[in-house]
Structure 1
Amino acid sequence: MAPDAFAAFLDGLDSEEAKGMAVAAACVRAADPALDPALRAAWSSALAPLLAGPSYAHWTEFTPWLEYGACGEVVDALALYADEWSALAAGPPAGELSDAHLLFLYDVALPLETLLSAWGNVARQSSSLRARSLATTLDGVELSAEAAEMLANLSRC
């Protein structure tokens, strides 16, 4: 399927589960390092508006087993989710995003400084045990041992 036909394809799907699966698969395809750079750019352009809307967090409610980390390799996740990173860094109540929203963001790889800023306050201050657990494990993110220890220590504060 061509990237410019993907949004119409997605609109034609009947279930949110199918939409979430299609987006995750498209992100994996677009993140393939062997993909032609022009095609990767076309996929990035096609996926960015879909990932910018509220649907992306909604999809994780229906497909919690899927990982959307590849989407962060295709779009500029720092810019696209800047409001979310800021809210998380501000801590509660601004950083109290839904569990589905957090599950989606959980898979996005971040630079260490942003990771600690955003998820550190979740680990320390969130009223949600699930959110605190996500923030202290960050299985979907490759952390250095030092970064993992820093986040674990934050949760003990």
Structure 2
Amino acid sequence: MRHLLNLLISIYAVLVGLLYTLVIVISVIPFFLIHDYVITFFEWLIFSRLPEPKFIPAPEIEYYCGPFYAPYFIKKWMSKHHNMSCKLHDEGYNSQPTSRLEIDKLFLSNMLETVKQGKGTKFGAYSMYYLVRYVVGWPSWYLIKGYKALGGKLKSK
């Protein structure tokens, strides 16, 4: 009798564990199936109230490459071959007419065109793209997006 009771308790524990697992799976799987839509909805909810994007030129400065907080000599060195590509990239970040990925791809394309004209190297272009895409670009993108969402206006000097 005691063994039968232990067997029933063990079966009950396994069934309860399976039930909890099933509940978790049922509640989590739909989220993974729709999480892109949920994120898109919240982005729409937050950013749909923004005015249509307008072209905002980059301020007139001497060197555009590098983050705004970089020292002058670093910006000068980075701008040696790709200053115009960096200027167009800054204008894309300021205006945000499309996704950050598309603007960064255009930036890489412009730098590779500059390399074809004999200025700079592919290694330098891909290195700058990597820095912009994965290291210093995202804070600038979201600072500008947040600044605009709070009603701030970007303008050139």
Note whether the superposition's TM-score is higher than 0.5: no
Determine which structure has greater relative contact order: mean sequence separation of CA pairs < 8 Å that are 6+ residues apart, divided by chain length. 2
Give the structure with higher Rg (CA): 2
Q: Which has the higher helix share?
A: 2
Task: Give the TM interval when normalised to the shorter protein.
Answer: under 0.3
